[in-house]
């Protein structure tokens, strides 16, 4: 991206009737500064970034400030409605001690949303990194080594033809108990979900990376690098990987969004984390039975999932524009 | 084209065999036991006999070909026998569910119509909404309509069906009490009122699934329209003095539909995946719910068959998409 494109002169100033060469007023800039400048022009992406930072702080720093144990039962304070209900209905049971209300066992919903968000985001990020690792490895290998291309891409096509959601459900159900026994109830399920999502969603990344690597391989700078005897390993790490970074980053945002949604879907189907272990999907699933009287309990976690995924998708949109040198600076 | 089609059909056979093998081995290696839900008072030797009766005594290399034979030979024979009154099957062993002890395909046949109604309808509705949105968004690029369309499709991508479904229930069933929250599959349509009821109970599940489809298809349609609107033939058509509606609707839309049709074909399997969750929310007793119940009861033949049917659907749709692409676009030649 940087090493083979001529640096665009920033802001050529052309004045009518002036035949002299266009002046460049700004000094040469770092590529990432350019990307950031373009990214800033995308309002949705900036908003998404802010929301993602906010929700990350909310779930990481939040429990430090809001020091309530999410699992603590307090039967006397059960079924407290969120604080805003008190404004419209003065007879409703509200309490400043539980601003988002409590559930049917008196557990504080805000503490649960924070704790659940930690798990959901942790699953999302880990699964996304695993997806990227698998996708990039397979994509680079297939794109760079012609011998591996046929077999790896055939394999990718085969995996794409698998019905992934049912298989993921099968995996969750069948491998739950042994992994739980081996790594403990929470870690076992965490590993299972992350690995499950990872091995069912790397295919798009692999295809994109392979295509880009194949196109890059024909470029002169690769030929030059090869002519001075660069070994394949350094060829990939020094010359190819930095140049496929932008499609990888865009698919990272997509991967994060799908991972969060998939984890919540699994929890929603009752096949995710154990019931005393909140995640956003799990809280939503547990509240569905009582949503007639307490609609807020499904809306909080649902909003958290949807807004997080929405902001991640917007970030991806902005990144795609910002990383595309053809439209940068327009 | 014919050679290509033929070759692709041939290639899809080993693909399907491989997928069947992967699903089979996953179920085989997994430590789940179909006898786990049986009472603990059953003595071990009886338990062993029950395992044998379920056909679990043989090793996998015996059972896998057997399953393939049952799926590809015996079941179609039964189907033909039922349809034409012949006797090809001759009492051969069918694929039997562990839970209900009845043939798997009978249960699937009972559940299929509900799923097809909801899923099929939602896909049609979704595509019908998506196409005009895509066309107008591209024609008036960066207009308010386009921005709104982008936002709606972003929401369609981001809001998972289990939240949009629940949200719709909270709004329309709980607060406004307009629509029923549970899909009644035993409902029979025989007069105007029952038809209205059927319509009412279908709106929510269909719209939840349609939102996902709309988001995807309208994006593709918009991108494809934008690609075509800048082409030289559009300028030629305008220069010839054709009216704007003819230019857009006849020339541009038809050309833009080529990639979109394949996207529509490729999206069909994933909408079935989405149906698993939607059926769970609206309590539709369709295929998705059947799969979940079978999973929870370690009903291996049922899970295997439903999952494999979905795989067949995916492979078939891939095939159809590729062939359609070749037929619709004369510039593409596979041979």
**Residue at token pair 């119509």:** B113
The CB-side HSE value for B331 (13 A sphere, CA atoms) comes to 3
Closest CB to A313 among B154, B175, B303: B154
Rounded Cα–Cα distance for residues A167 and A158 (Å): 14
As a three-state string, the secondary structure of A48-95 is: HHHHHHHHHHHHHCHHHHCCCCCCCCCHHHCCCECCCHHHHCCCCCEC
**What ipTM score was computed for the predicted complex, to two decimals?**
0.80
A216 touches chain B (CB under 8 A): no
Token pair listed for B267: 């999206």
Within 35-64 of A, beta carbons closer than 8 Å to B belong to 44
Q: Which of B209, B122, B125, B216 is nearest to B168 (CA)?
A: B209
Domain locations in chain B?
17-84, 106-328
The separation between CA A310 and the C-alpha centre of its own chain, rounded to angstroms, equals 10
Strand partners, A13: A23
Nearest residue in A to B172, CA atom:
A292
The list of chain B residues with pLDDT below 50 reads none
Q: Is the separation of the CB atoms in A179 and A188 below 8 Å?
A: yes
Digit-by-digit pLDDT tens for chain A (330 residues) are 444 444 444 454 444 545 555 555 666 677 788 888 888 888 888 898 999 999 888 888 887 877 777 777 777 777 777 777 767 776 767 676 677 777 777 777 788 888 888 888 999 999 999 999 999 999 999 988 888 888 898 888 888 888 888 888 888 877 877 787 888 777 888 888 899 899 888 998 999 899 889 888 888 999 999 899 889 889 888 888 888 888 888 889 888 998 998 888 888 887 878 767 788 888 888 888 777 777 778 888 888 899 999 999 888 888 888 877 665 544
- How many whole angstroms separate alpha carbon B179 and alpha carbon B175? 10
pLDDT computed for residue A2 by the predictor: 43
Size of interface A-B (CB pairs under 8 A): 125
Say which CATH architecture domain B106-328 belongs to.
Orthogonal Bundle (1.10)
Is A170 close to B306, i.e. CB distance below 8 A? no
Closest CA to A172 of A267, A56, A282: A267
Distance between CA A201 and CA A256 in Å, rounded? 11
| pLDDT in the model for residue B283 | 83
Contact of B262 with B224, CB cutoff 8 Å: no
**According to the model, what pLDDT value does residue A3 have?**
46
- Matching residue, tokens 């190819």: A240
Residue A170: list chain B partners with CB under 8 A.
Answer: 23, 26-27, 30, 295, 303, 307
Backbone angle region of A79, left / alpha / beta, with phi > 0 → left and psi within -120 to 50 → alpha: left
Determine the residue among B27, B155, B160 to mutate to test chain A binding: the one whose Cβ has the most chain A Cβ atoms within 10 Å: B160
CB A241 within 8 A of CB A140: yes
End-to-end CA distance of chain A: 18
Q: Which two tokens stand for residue B225?
A: 């329209």
Q: Angle at which helices B253-282 and B121-139 pack, to 10 degrees? A: 140
Is A88 in CB contact (< 8 Å) with chain B?
Answer: no
Number of H helices, E strands in chain A: 14, 2
Residue A94 φ then ψ, to 5°: -125, 160
The runs of H, that is alpha helices, within A201-244 are 203-217, 220-227, 232-234
**Whole-number pLDDT of residue B117:** 84
- Contacts A310 to B, Cβ<8 Å: 154-155, 158-159
CA-angle at A205, arms to A154 and A127, nearest 5°: 115
The confidence score (pLDDT) of residue B63 equals: 80
- Option in A265, A313, A314 nearest B277 (CB): A265
- Cα separation, A303 vs A193, in Å, equals 22
Numbered residues of chain B with Cβ closer than 8 Å to any chain A Cβ: 15, 18-19, 22-23, 26-27, 30-32, 154-155, 157-160, 162-163, 166-167, 169-170, 174-175, 269, 273, 276-277, 280-281, 291-292, 295-296, 298, 303, 306-307, 310-311, 313-315, 318
Q: Over the Cα atoms of chain A, what is R_g?
A: 25
**pLDDT tens-digit series, residues B32-84:** 566 666 666 777 777 777 777 776 767 777 788 888 888 887 777 778 887 77
Nearest to A310 by CA among B316, B163, B281, B218: B163
DSSP-derived secondary structure letter, B92 = -
CA dist., res. B152 & res. B218, Å (int): 10
């Amino acid at each position: 991206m940087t090493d083979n494109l001529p640096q665009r002169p920033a802001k050529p100033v052309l004045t009518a009737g002036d035949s002299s060469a266009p002046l460049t007023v700004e000094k040469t800039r770092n590529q990432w500064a350019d990307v950031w400048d373009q990214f800033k022009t995308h309002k949705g992406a900036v908003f998404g970034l802010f929301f993602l930072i906010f929700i990350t702080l909310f779930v990481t720093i939040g429990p430090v400030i809001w020091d309530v144990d999410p699992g603590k039962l307090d039967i006397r304070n059960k079924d407290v409605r969120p604080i805003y209900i008190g404004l419209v209905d003065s007879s409703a049971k509200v309490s400043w001690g539980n601003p988002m209300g409590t559930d049917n066992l008196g557990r504080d919903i805000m503490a649960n949303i924070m704790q659940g968000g930690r798990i959901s985001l942790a699953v999302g990020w880990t699964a996304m990194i695993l997806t990227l690792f698998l996708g990039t490895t397979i994509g680079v290998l297939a794109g760079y080594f012609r011998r591996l291309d046929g077999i790896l891409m055939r394999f990718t096509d085969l995996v794409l033809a698998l019905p992934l959601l049912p298989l993921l459900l099968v995996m969750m159900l069948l491998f739950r108990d042994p992994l739980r026994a081996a790594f403990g109830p929470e870690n076992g399920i965490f590993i299972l979900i992350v690995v499950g999502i990872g091995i069912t969603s790397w295919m798009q990344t692999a295809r994109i990376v392979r295509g880009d690597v194949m196109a890059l391989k024909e470029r002169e700078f690769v030929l030059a690098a090869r002519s001075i005897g660069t070994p394949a390993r350094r060829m990939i790490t020094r010359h190819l990987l930095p140049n496929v970074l932008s499609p990888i980053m865009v698919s990272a945002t997509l991967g994060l969004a799908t991972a969060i949604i998939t984890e919540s879907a699994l929890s929603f189907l009752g096949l995710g984390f154990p019931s005393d272990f909140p995640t956003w999907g799990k809280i939503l699933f547990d509240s569905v039975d009582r949503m007639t009287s307490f609609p807020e309990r499904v809306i909080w976690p649902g909003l958290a999932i949807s807004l997080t995924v929405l902001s991640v998708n917007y970030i991806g949109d902005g990144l795609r524009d910002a990383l595309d040198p053809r439209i940068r600076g327009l | 084209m014919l050679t290509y089609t033929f070759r692709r059909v041939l290639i899809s056979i080993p693909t399907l065999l491989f997928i069947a093998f992967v699903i089979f081995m996953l179920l085989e290696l997994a430590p789940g036991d179909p006898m786990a839900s049986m009472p603990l008072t059953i003595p071990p030797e009886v338990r062993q006999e029950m395992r044998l009766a379920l056909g679990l005594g043989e090793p996998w290399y015996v059972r896998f070909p057997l399953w393939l034979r049952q799926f590809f030979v015996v079941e179609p024979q039964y189907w033909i026998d039922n349809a034409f009154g012949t006797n090809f099957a001759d009492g051969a062993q069918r694929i039997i569910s562990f839970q209900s002890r009845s043939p798997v395909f009978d249960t699937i046949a009972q559940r299929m119509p509900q799923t097809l109604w909801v899923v099929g309808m939602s896909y049609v509705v979704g595509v019908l909404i998506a196409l005009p949105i895509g066309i107008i968004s591209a024609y008036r690029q960066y207009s308010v309509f386009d921005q709104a369309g982008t936002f709606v499709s972003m929401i369609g991508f981001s809001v998972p069906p289990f939240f949009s479904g629940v949200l719709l229930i909270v709004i329309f069933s709980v607060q406004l009490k307009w629509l029923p929250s549970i899909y009644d599959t035993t409902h029979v349509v025989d007069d105007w009122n029952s038809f209205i009821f059927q319509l009412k109970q279908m709106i929510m599940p269909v719209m939840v699934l349609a939102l996902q489809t709309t988001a995807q298809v309208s994006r593709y349609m918009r991108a494809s329209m934008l690609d075509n609107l800048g082409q030289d033939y559009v300028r030629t058509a305008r220069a010839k003095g054709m009216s704007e509606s003819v230019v857009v609707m006849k020339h541009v839309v038809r050309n833009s539909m080529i990639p979109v049709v394949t996207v529509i074909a490729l999206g069909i399997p994933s909408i079935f995946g989405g149906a698993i969750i939607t059926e769970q929310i609206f309590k539709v007793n369709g295929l998705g719910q059947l799969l979940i119940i079978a999973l929870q009861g370690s009903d291996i033949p049922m899970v295997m068959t439903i999952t494999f049917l979905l795989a067949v659907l995916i492979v078939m749709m891939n095939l159809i998409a590729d062939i359609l692409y070749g037929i619709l676009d004369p510039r593409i030649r596979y041979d």
